[in-house]
Each structure stands twice: as C-alpha cells, then as structure tokens.
Amino acid sequence: MSVLAFDIGAGSGRALLADVKDDRLEMKEIHRFDNTPIQIGKRLHWDVYRLFLEIKRGIAEAKKTGEALEALAIDTWAVDFGLLGKDGELLRAPYHYRDHHTDGVMEDCHKNKVSKKDIFDKTGIQFLPFNTIYQLQAMSNTGSPLLNEAVDLLLMPDLLRYFLTGQKKTEFTNATTTQLFNPKTMEWDEDLVKAAGVTKDIFQDIALPGTIIGELSKEVCEELDVDPIPVIAAGEHDTASAVAGIPALDQDFAYVSCGTWSLMGTEVQDAVINDKAFQWNFTNEGGVNNTFRLLKNIMGLWILEECKRIWEHDEKAGYKELLQEAEALPSFSFFIDPDDFRFLNPPHMPKEIQQYCEDTDQYVPRTRGEIVKGVLESLALKYRYVFERTQHLAGTPFYGLHMVGGGIKNTVLCQYTSNALAKPVWAGPVEGSAIGNVMVQLMAVGKVEDLAQARLITLKSTNMQYYFPEDEKKWHRAYGRFCDTIGVNNGEDLTV
C-alpha cells in the first residue's frame, strides 16, 4: 500500500508513489509534466484544466504499477485562485501571480483601504504585490463581473482537489498566504475581506494538514477505472510541505527552500507579529502540526532561469556551461538586490540587470558568465541578510542552514551560501516538497507517528551534501558592499 503525491511547482509538476519500509522512505516518480502558463491578450493564466488532466494521468500511471493506494494529496504554489459560479463550475482560468493586473494595487490598498500596519497586525504576512488580497482588489477596482457571479473562491490546490472530489475546503497553510486570514482568531478576517472588495461568504472552511477531505468522485473513478481513493489535505502550500520534509533533528533550525523562489526561515510554535517583523517584511505562514513558518520570500533562481531563457534564443545556454563561464571570472564585480520588483517579470532579464547596475553606478556586466556570477553571489549575500534577521526574530542562533529543493542541484549556489553565511550548509533532499507531502499523508494513515519521526526517516533516506565556508573574510567584506549597494542597514543590532 502506497500514497500518491502530486507536487506541482510554477514550472512543472510530478506524481510520486511512496511508502515507508524499514524506516526508509521509498519514493518513485511515475509521471512528470510541464506547467507553462498561457498568455491570452494582456493576461497571463494558469492552464488549470491541463493540470487536472495531468493529475488524472498520474492516477492512471499509479494504477499501472499495480500498487494499491491508501491516499493521495496535492501541493502547489500559493496566492492564486479560481472562482466558481452557482453551478459549481470554474468561471475563468486563474490568473498567474506574475500577471500585471495587480500593478500599483498594493500601494492603492494601503493608501485608501487599510494601512500596512493594520494588515500585518491582523495577518503577520509579508507584503507582496500578488498576494490574494491585492488580486481580489484589482478585480474589484476594474468592476470584474466575475465577483458578482462567484459563490466560491478556491486556492489552486483547493481547486484541483475539488475537481477530484467535489468537496470544497481551504487548507490551512495555503490560507495563511492570502493576507486575508487571521492566525490569532484562526478565521478569515472580515475587515480585510471587505477591503479586498468581496464578501466572506465565498471563502471556505479551513482544513488542517492531514485532514481527509473526501474520496475520488464517482465520475473520476469511472473514467479511470479506479477505487474511490481518499484525498488528503497535505501541507498544500509547497513550502509548507518542503519544511515538513526537512531532515532536521534539532527543534531550532533554519532552512531555505530553493527553486524559482527562495523561501528562508525557521519553524516556530506561534506567529511572530511585532514591529521588527513588520519593518523587515517577514511573514508567518501556516505550517504542519500546528506550527508557523517564520520566513521571508527571496526572488530565487527565477532571475537566472529568465536569463537562460533569453540567451537560449541565440545560442546554447545549458546550466553547466553557464556555471563554468561564471566560475572562471573574478568575484564581486557587481551586486543586485534579487528582491527589487523590477526583477519580478521584466521582458528581458539580462537587460534589466544591466540597467540596475547603471542606475546604481556599478560596473555593468556584458557577458553571460559575468551576469550569472553576479546573480549567484547576490543571492547568497541576500541569504545572509535574511538569515541574520531570522535568528534575531526567532531569538535563537542557528549553527548552519538546511537547503532543500531543486535549487540545491546548483552546487555553486550552495557553496556561495556557506561562504556568505560563514556557516555550514546541509543540502538535501532535492524533492523536499514532495517528501513533505508524502509524510503528511503517511502520518494521516498511521504509518508515521509524528513530524519528528518523519524527519528522521527523511534523514536516513537522503544522500546529503555538505558545504563548509571558504574565503570568509573576502565574503564578509563583500557583504558590506552588497548592503551599501542595495540600500539596507548593515549596522542594526541583530544579537540573539
């Protein structure tokens, strides 16, 4: 008997069969698929119908193995949503969080609806222009007819789960990312829902990770010729699953889930909502087993992926070649702030980086290798900036950093991160979110006792890679220059 995990990221998805035998996790990928958004006119959408088709294909592939399924679960990215009409059907393909319909909306909301401080005090969530609250206000500002027709709002994993089961619930870890959920009351916040231009009626009841939501619908079972498999709410925000999949044995640990986005933080029992967390724009997202993820979003390898996409129009731009070109060059020729909003979705990322350097009176990189090196160095230095503030907010020192996710395949970034932090880095597993998804399911069906046991099993099952700091003084000097360049305070009291 196995469980089936669907781990769907912003670029691709995968289906994995998994079970625990002799305190080891056995996991096998049985289906992989693309998740390319679709541009229609001025709007960028998720192809949610195709994602549902790929989920059904994954279930069919699982059947071919002959393995009986105890449960299945889905994790995806956060904030994006679909709206259902009175007939229970999706009114429109969901917008992609990188779509420009929210441009300027966050600032308008804070000026005319509700202040940043009030929002943070209610939610503890960081300010990002694509948060669900601002997506809804963008629709309200333009008089979208969908808001008049909508009777239900479902976040992305809720929506895919609804397609499978017909049941409507919103899972806790994903609900917290909307900036509409109050972790103190554990309810949707009526004042913020009103500020977004909608009513509380369209939001669903909250389900905690590990809750059995329902079974595959009759229609799905007949189409695929399968039994009515239980569908579980995992940590449906992929970062919540990734954190559940971290092989940490200490209660206090720091992590970065590294991919298109980098999400760095720690696990805490209660949301940290104070002036420093507000000033530094940290977030308190829901976690597995009644925890919170005190963390900060960092733009991540999206910047490098977009550069690679542009370069591939003209010539081969494999990661191996790009990293070799970068490694042969001098260090610290320029810095960028990975979180500058200009890097969110520009038409030409290399030109945007060059323009940033011009605007900040720095050396302007001309070659692919120069850009790659500068981006990776800047990302590692931004990790240090966030790491130090995470320690301060959590009130505990961290003796190293756990790195998980697909980004750890970039060994240069892992080494740079250890150098920047002057601390060891423990890299693994790559499939962190998928493993966390699996572990929540195995806990729900009684095969794994608790999160501590799940993490021990993950450690035993992972081929960890270890990195130790090099050139610490050089990286420390570079960090001072980096902070000056991006305009942040390097002299704050960050004692723990």
Tell me how far CA of residue 255 lies from CA of 263, 288, 296, 461, in angstroms: 8, 15, 11, 19
In a domain, 439, yes or no: no
Do 187 and 262 reside in the same domain of the chain?
A: no
* H runs (alpha helix) in 124-232: 132-141, 146-149, 156-165, 172-175, 190-195, 218-224
The per-residue b/e assignment along 198-228, b for 16 or more CB within 10 angstroms, e otherwise, is beeebbbebbebbbbbbbbbeebeeebebee
Structure tokens at 269: 């029992």
**pLDDT tens digit sequence for 208-237:** 999 999 999 999 999 999 999 999 999 999
In a domain, 450, yes or no: no
Q: Quickly count: other Cβ atoms within 10 Å of residue 33's Cβ.
A: 18
Do 159 and 263 reside in the same domain of the chain?
A: no
In a domain, 457, yes or no: no
Say yes or no to pLDDT of 316 above 80.
Answer: no
179 neighbors 133 (Cβ within 8 angstroms): yes
Q: What is the mean pLDDT of residues 289-305?
A: 95
159 neighbors 47 (Cβ within 8 angstroms): no
| Rounded-to-integer distance, Cα 430 and Cα 16, Å | 14
Which residues, 6+ apart, have CB-to-CB distance to 345 below 8 Å? 98, 100
Q: Quickly count: other Cβ atoms within 10 Å of residue 155's Cβ.
A: 27
Last residue of a domain, one of 238, 273, 304: 238
**Plot region of 361 (φ>0 → left; ψ -120 to 50 → alpha; else → beta):** left
Cis ω on the peptide bond leading into residue 429 (within 30° of 0)?
A: yes
Say yes or no to pLDDT of 34 above 80.
Answer: yes
Do 228 and 294 reside in the same domain of the chain?
A: no
- Position 166, amino acid: G
Say yes or no to pLDDT of 317 above 90.
Answer: no
pLDDT score, position 298: 96
366 lies in which domain range?
Answer: 248-428+464-496
CATH code for the domain of 180: 3.30.420.40
Q: Which helix (DSSP H) or strand (DSSP E) does residue 154 occupy? A: strand 152-155
Domain count, the chain: 2
Last residue of a domain, one of 207, 238, 269: 238
Do 34 and 70 reside in the same domain of the chain?
A: yes
Q: What is the mean pLDDT of residues 483-493?
A: 91
In a domain, 441, yes or no: no
| Rounded-to-integer distance, Cα 440 and Cα 444, Å | 6
Do 153 and 275 reside in the same domain of the chain?
A: no
Q: Residue 492: which pLDDT band, with cuts at 50, 70 and 90?
A: confident
In a domain, 98, yes or no: yes
**pLDDT tens digit sequence for 165-224:** 999 999 999 999 999 999 999 999 999 999 999 999 999 999 999 999 999 999 999 999
Last residue of a domain, one of 206, 238, 270: 238
In a domain, 436, yes or no: no
What is the CB-side half-sphere exposure of residue 346 using CA atoms within 13 A?
22
Do 224 and 298 reside in the same domain of the chain?
A: no
Do 352 and 270 reside in the same domain of the chain?
A: yes
462 neighbors 24 (Cβ within 8 angstroms): no
What is the rounded average pLDDT for all residues in the chain? 96
Do 205 and 260 reside in the same domain of the chain?
A: no
Say yes or no to pLDDT of 493 above 90.
Answer: no
Of the candidates 347, 382, 383, 377, the residue with the CA atom closest to the CA atom of residue 365: 377
Do 150 and 178 reside in the same domain of the chain?
A: yes
In a domain, 435, yes or no: no
In a domain, 112, yes or no: yes
| Rounded-to-integer distance, Cα 451 and Cα 227, Å | 29
**pLDDT tens digit sequence for 344-376:** 999 999 999 999 999 999 999 999 999 999 999
State the DSSP code for 330: P
Do 110 and 213 reside in the same domain of the chain?
A: yes
Do 234 and 255 reside in the same domain of the chain?
A: no
Catalytic residue ranges: 238
Phi, psi angles (nearest 5°) of residue 206: -90, 135
Do 275 and 312 reside in the same domain of the chain?
A: yes
Q: What angle do CA 350, 106, 97 make, to 5 degrees?
A: 55
| Rounded-to-integer distance, Cα 458 and Cα 453, Å | 9
Say yes or no to pLDDT of 313 above 90.
Answer: no
Structure tokens at 229: 């498999």
